[in-house]
Amino acid sequence: MSFQPFFTRRQLLAAGLATAALSTGSLVSAQTPSRTLRIGHQKGWLSILKARGTLEKRLAPLGVAVTWTEFNAGPVQLEALNVGSIDFGDVGEAPPIFAQAAGAPLVYAGATVPRPHLEALIVPKDSPIKTVADLKGKKIGFNKGSNVQYFLVKLLEKHGLKYADVQAIFLPPPDARAAFQKGAIDAWIIWDPFLASAQKTLDAQILADAKGIVNNRGYYFTSRDFATKNTDVLKIVIAEINAVDIWIGKNKPAAAAELATVLGLDKNITELYLSRAAYGTVPVTRDILGEQQAIADTFFDLKLIPKKLNLLHAAPVDLG
């Protein structure tokens, strides 16, 4: 869930939209659909919702059809929203900041509860790095502009270090994993399920997770225009997402098996992932927007975005 160069997002968007026809757009309706909800999603919670078809059943009486398009990253979904190709999607903390800096018309439709244990800074099993203070001067791999970059800044601050005290090595997760495995970086700051995979298959050790440092929420977004005209639809979508969220929290073994199939990972990896997640979907309050504002301010200070943002305009339409 990280920021990508614009041209890369365009290319990925084109590829994603080209496969949209292959997505399962279930149209369960007793009447001719008068509205369409176009959902973009990454592999994860929304994949489970899609497979169940419960959202389509809930929306059918309203004459709403649902289409699904899978994307491989949050920024690509936000680009799709910006060009009017989707109406709703899921994303991490950081990508919306870049989209808003670029003028995207997004608003937040919902948020997960805090999930600080789902991102961490890891080191190899036999690393001489034993404390955060030991990171000074060391090479740390991570995805530029991602939520873990914000986590890194705040983690270093908490331990008396500055961002400039470490060597930032910008790598997407697959490349960072390879660099970590061969010792080309000293540490890797990453999120689940990549985190759980590194622990299970590379014997990586957690030096620090985000507990007490940042909240690491996930977000559900839409456009201001769609939210204004389809409040009834969004209320149902958020309710169905929350139902899946709560089900996963209460049925972790079954959910781990289902998620392992979705993600193409071994079940022992998804079991670890789900064991430390927190569950629930909540409305976006001013306090939650304040968390996003803090990320935006940090990214502006790091010159990752070109202007200061005031995120109050991104407050969602009241879903009641």
- How far apart CA 107 and CA 315 sit, in angstroms, is 6
Domains of the chain: 6-115+217-260+278-314 (3.40.190.10), 117-209 (3.40.190.10)
How many CA atoms does the CB half-sphere of 94 hold within 13 Å?
22
- What does the pLDDT look like over 36-51, one tens digit per residue? 999 999 888 899 999 9
Q: Which residues contact 212 (CB under 8 A, 6 or more apart)?
A: 116
Average pLDDT value for the chain: 88
Q: What are the Cα distances from residue 230, in Å, to 105, 200, 310?
A: 16, 43, 25
Query: Pairing relation of β-strands 35-41 and 167-170?
Result: unpaired
One-character DSSP codes across 263-291: HT--HHHHHHHHHT----EE---HHHHHH
Cα 95-100-103 angle, rounded to 5 deg: 135
Per-residue confidence at 146, pLDDT binned at 50, 70, 90? confident
To 10 degrees, the CA torsion angle through 157, 159, 165, 169?
-80
SS3 114: coil
Does pLDDT of 96 surpass 60?
yes
pLDDT (tens digit per residue) in 186-227: 999 999 999 999 999 999 999 999 999 999 999 999 999 999
